[in-house]
Amino acid sequence: MPEEEKINTPTLNYHFKELTNLITNENSMSSYQNILNDFLEHWPLEKVEAISLDQYVDIQNRATFTQWVENRTIELGSISGLFGSRMFGMYKRNGSDPLDGYANDELYTWNKKYGNDRNVAFSEIKKHLIDIINCSLTGNFSKIDAIPIPDIFKWKVAYLYSNERLIPIFQREVLKEIATYYGLSVNSKTTVSAIQKVLIDNKPLDLNTHEFMVELWAKFRPQKKKPKGISTPQQDQGEKSTNDQKRSGTSSYIAKQTHNIIQNKLRNMLIAEYGESCVACEKNYVDLTLTYKDTITLYEVKSDAYAATCIRQALGQIIQYAHRLDPTKKVKLYIVGQYPLKDNEKPYLSYIQKNFKVDLNYMNIDLT
């Protein structure tokens, strides 16, 4: 069974205030994306695969992986609390006594289940960390439940590499209350991945994961009365600022990697079915073009974690590409993402198909 994390209510409420202040700032969404991109640029998978113990955890060193996850990305979800540094699997003591019930040497303390030697223990933790990241990158979240790293830490790591396919709330008691509200029968055996699936399935189309997190946290944080409803009306935002604003990049490290993986996998699938001579990659800026018999099929790949957003991002591009094609050919258009359409996204695609009168469809490429 996963270790239960205790909730430090004053700490969580303090971080809620910080999150609220950030989310109401006019540049809050770009701030979130900047923080996430900064983390992913500093800690891509290949760097984690080569990580050393002192790069993983150290004393008064903000550059370590654990410092990045706990403190330097705190605006993306807080994991601070009474569980402390034990959530990392092992930690370096700062003059404190060895911890009873744990393995200790002259510098480090770690959970005994990882081994009797610090190097053996770190090697085991590192293997688990890489497994978490790989599962998250491919969307195979159910496998993360069984990885023996404390929940509150491993799910924060999973979120950071998930292409925002998880909601960044990590305290188990809060997650259980939200899941119960949405109709999931929760008990001690209910997994975090099952709860996260419920949250993702109920995420409104007009909210990104950060906005949804703040809305949920405001209503379900500890010592707050359970709400009657989850939706709140959007307030008039008034006149928009016309001052120069710093904006984040349009895609993160994960997004770029995901786009390339989807594109390559789809290309191989098309070549296997139609032959390499029928498939063009990046021809006239189109991700993939299939020319077969009297039909030209264009595929525009998007890496967003939600099908509706992929459609919104790709729609203008793919129609622009289509209008340049030979009018004597039949044209089909596909927008391609990693995840299938959710039930609340299907009417959006149906509306486009009906009103634009274009042969446009969405397909997903499973990366698991």
Cα(121)–Cα(116) distance, rounded to whole angstroms? 7
pLDDT in tens, 237-261: 444 443 444 434 434 667 778 899 9
Task: Evaluate if residue 140 carries a pLDDT over 50.
Answer: yes
Task: Evaluate if residue 224 carries a pLDDT over 60.
Answer: no
Minimal CA–CA distance to 208: which of 152, 252, 157, 266?
252
Amino acid at 356: F
Whole-angstrom CA distances from 179 to 129, 163, 194, 203 are: 26, 22, 9, 12
Q: Bridge partners of 8?
A: none
Residue with tokens 């710093």: 246
Band of the pLDDT at 279, cuts 50, 70, 90? very high
Q: Which domains does the chain have, with CATH numbers?
A: 9-220 (no CATH), 253-364 (3.40.1350)
pLDDT in tens, 261-270: 999 999 999 9
**Percent of the chain's residues with pLDDT above 90:** 67
Task: Evaluate if residue 170 carries a pLDDT over 50.
Answer: yes
Cα(126)–Cα(156) distance, rounded to whole angstroms? 16
Minimal CA–CA distance to 344: which of 207, 235, 219?
207
219 versus 65: which is more confidently predicted? 65
Lowest-confidence region among 128-137, 190-199, 207-216, 244-253 = 244-253
pTM of the model: 0.74
Q: What is the dihedral of CA 183, 186, 192, 197, to 10 degrees?
A: -20
| 162 close to 195: Cβ distance less than 8 angstroms | no
What lies within 8 Å, CB to CB, of 63 at 6+ separation is 55
Tell me, what's the pLDDT at 17?
Answer: 47
* Edge-first strand listing for the sheet containing 90-92: 90-92, 108-110, 103-104
Q: Three-class SS string for the chain?
A: CCCCCCCCHHHHHHHHHHHHHHHHCCCHHHHHHHHHHHHHHHCCHHHHHCCCHHHHCCCCCCCCHHHHHHHHCHHHCCCCCCCHHHHHCEEECCCCCCCCCCEECCCEEECHHHCCCHHHHHHHHHHHHHHHHHHHHHCCHHHHHHCCCCHHHHHHHHHHCCCCCCCCCCCHHHHHHHHHHCCCCCCCCCCHHHHHHHHHHCCCCCCCHHHHHHHHHHHHCCCCCCCCCCCCCCCCCCCCCCCCCCCCCCCCHHHHHHHHHHHHHHHHHHHHHHCHHHEEEEECCEEEEEEECCEEEEEEECCCCCHHHHHHHHHHHHHHHHCCCCCCCEEEEEEEECCCCCCCCHHHHHHHHHHHCCCEEEEECCCC
Q: Bridge partners of 288?
A: 281, 299
pLDDT in tens, 286-325: 999 999 999 999 999 999 989 999 999 999 999 999 988 8
Minimal CA–CA distance to 12: which of 172, 154, 163, 166?
172
